[in-house]
Copies of this chain bind each other. A is one copy, B any other.
C-alpha cells in the first residue's frame, strides 16, 4: 500500500496528524484527510510538501 503519514508543521516542528492517509481532498476552509480504512479527519490547513517515497505529507495551518 502506498499510503503516507500526514504531519502538521508548526513553529518549525512537525507532529503527526494522521497515519495511513490515502486521500487528501480540498474543502471550503481546509482539507479532509481520509485514511486507508475510510476514516476521515478535517483540518484547516494546506498541503505544504510531499515526500512520497518517505511516506510523508506535510501540512501547514492556513487555508488551501
Known: A2-B55, A55-B2. A49 touches B24 (CB 8 A): yes
39-53 of chain A: CB within 8 A of chain B: 46-53
Chain A contact-residue range equals 20 to 34
B52 and A3 within 8 A (CB): yes
The number of times this chain is found in the oligomer is 2
Chain B min CB distance to A1 (Å)? 6
* Residue from A1, A3, A23 whose CB has the most chain B CB atoms within 10 Å: A23
The digit string for A8-44, where 1 denotes a CB below 8 A from any CB of B, is: 0000000000000111111000000000100000000
Chain B's nearest CB lies how many Å from the CB of A56? Answer: 9
Name the residue on B nearest A34 (C-beta).
B51
